[in-house]
Copies of this chain bind each other. A is one copy, B any other.
Amino acid sequence: MRELYPDGVFPEACPSRTLLDHVMSKWGVLVLLALSEGEPLRWSEVRRRAQGVSEKMLAQTLRTLASDGLVERHARPVVPPHVEYFLTPAGEQLAGHLVPLMQWIAGHAGEVDTS
């Protein structure tokens, strides 16, 4: 992993920093995780799974992840509207790394020693 540190880590103002911030953001991880099972989810279903997210932040997060090429939006022009979100191939690759990490965190929370 030395390759990651030429002289620092993720140099400032580098595109990787931006992507890192999007993916690692409070709601970004939860949305990616929610979609990590492969099945497309509707807006309301994503919202239900990312417990606590506001409409505003959900919209913003989905737009950001979509423009990063990780999530895709598909709207069926019916009324009432039916919109689905799912991971792109890139998003699935990312989720492949993200899910084990989240599982570790879920498993180790509460075991912290607050010394």
User: Using a Cβ–Cβ cut-off of 8 Å, how many residues does chain A contribute to the interface with B?
Assistant: 57
Cα distance, A97 to B60, chains bound together (Å): 27
Q: Please give the count of copies of this chain that the complex contains.
A: 2
Cα distance, A112 to B19, chains bound together (Å): 9
CB-nearest residue of chain B to A93: B104
Tell me if A51 and B11 are in contact (CB < 8 A).
yes
Tell me if B19 and A105 are in contact (CB < 8 A).
yes
Shortest CB distance A27–B (Å) = 11
Shortest CB distance A17–B (Å) = 8
| A-B contact list, 22 entries, CB within 8 Å | A1-B99, A1-B103, A3-B103, A5-B34, A5-B49, A8-B50, A9-B51, A10-B106, A12-B51, A12-B52, A15-B109, A15-B110, A16-B105, A16-B109, A17-B109, A19-B105, A19-B108, A19-B109, A20-B29, A69-B115, A93-B104, A101-B101
